[in-house]
Amino acid sequence: MFLRLLSSVAAWSTFLNLLILTHWIPAYALDWVPTAEEMATYRHSWNPPTHGTSYTSSADVTRQGQWFVRAYVQGMIGSGESQRTATSQNVASPFSPDAVMPAVTLYYGLTHHVMVGVGISAVYWHSSTPEADGRTSGSGIGTTNLIVKYRPIVQDPHAWRPSIAFYSRLSLPTNRWFGTPEIPGGFTPLSRVPSSRFEAVAVTEGILFRKNLEPFRITGNVFYSYNFPGSGSESGATVYGGDLINTHLALEHVLDEETGFGYLIEMTTLRQLNGRLDGHAVNTVPATFWLVGLQPGLEYTFARYESGAKLVGAIGVMFTVAGQDDIRAIYPNISFKYFFEQN
């Protein structure tokens, strides 16, 4: 009963995010972009320059013509695998993967409403259980991601309407091209970016929202990822992994606007479906799984300049609080963003 209750958290998180998003989309999506008056009202409202959430991508985009770079390092400390037994208990199998994953992403404000980005990552992993080839560790280049974020709706500071954006990402398997050994399990389950399988070309689509309620910000999103077939570490094998649904919901409390100091509470869920958009049967084991994670974090603004440049950072630890048939781990992480001078 308790496991079913925790499993429903993932479903309810997805439902809550979609409820918030779909309530506002029909009335505003046909406008394509916010009006000049809406943009001016939003830019003069409460919105201090902080780092913001670490795990949860928000609906905001950077200003037109501005570059910013994000450096991010996430660790994974595994403590086994969450499995469902006949008595609906969580037990730990003798499997303990650890990993470190640095990533750098460069973003650019293409217009007032569209932001593009390109990111590259690396990975080092170690497992207590040898892989099929006897390997217990590996390192190398990770995936490369091409990102587009489009924000057709900005929030109304005098009403409940949030900012809403659409997110698209193409993940390229540069890890496979450079011969990076596959991480056990195929990917790091609870990640800052939408999850995709380690050696797969993947397409992710998402809907994001953000609402400022001084001194709080509420942020959430829903992502759907499709992994192309053909990835996998076994020679000659074609892997058909189930499609993935990621959700994030976060609360940011800005305690000091001058220093950008605040705390963050973030929840994330991940579910692999027992199905694919292309209709092919899933052949991974297990065919489906789910996880729920919770992260406390802190943020701080290290430098701000009149030119618009600033350096901000955040630190936190994501804890796996529930799951079925996937890795149980904690994920310490640290993030820095540097916004270059505005044109």
Radius of gyration of the chain from Cα atoms?
A: 20
Report the alpha-carbon distance of residue 113 to residue 153 in Å, rounded.
9
Cα separation values, 164 from 29, 154, 333, Å? 9, 7, 26
- Asked whether 157 and 190 are in contact (CB, 8 A), the reply is no
What residues pair up with 326 in beta bridges, in sequence order?
A: 82
The predicted pLDDT at position 275 comes to 92
3-state secondary structure of 209: strand
Q: What is the pLDDT of residues 132-145, one digit of tens each?
A: 667 778 889 988 99
Look at residues 289, 280, 285, 198 and name the one whose alpha carbon lies nearest to residue 246.
289
The pLDDT, as a whole number, for residue 199 is 72
pTM equals 0.83
**C-alpha pair distances (Å), 7 with each of 4, 238, 271, 291:** 5, 30, 10, 8
Average pLDDT over residues 240-247: 90
Per-residue confidence (pLDDT) for residue 1, from 0 to 100: 44
Regarding predicted confidence, which is higher, 144 or 14?
144
SS3 201: coil
Structure confidence by residue, pLDDT tens digits, 116-135:
999 999 989 888 776 666 77
Average pLDDT, the chain: 83
Q: Is the pLDDT of residue 15 over 80?
A: no
For residue 314, give the nearest of 70, 62, 61 by alpha carbon.
70
Give the model's pLDDT for residue 299.
97
Instruction: Give the span between the Cα atoms of 265 and 217, in whole angstroms.
Output: 11
What is d(CA 199, CA 186) in angstroms, rounded to the nearest whole number?
8
Nearest CA-CA partner of 72 in 317, 265, 336: 336
Classify residue 193 by its DSSP letter. S
- Whether 55 has a pLDDT exceeding 90, the answer reads no
- Please report the domains of the chain, with CATH numbers, ordered by start residue: 2-339 (2.40.160.40)
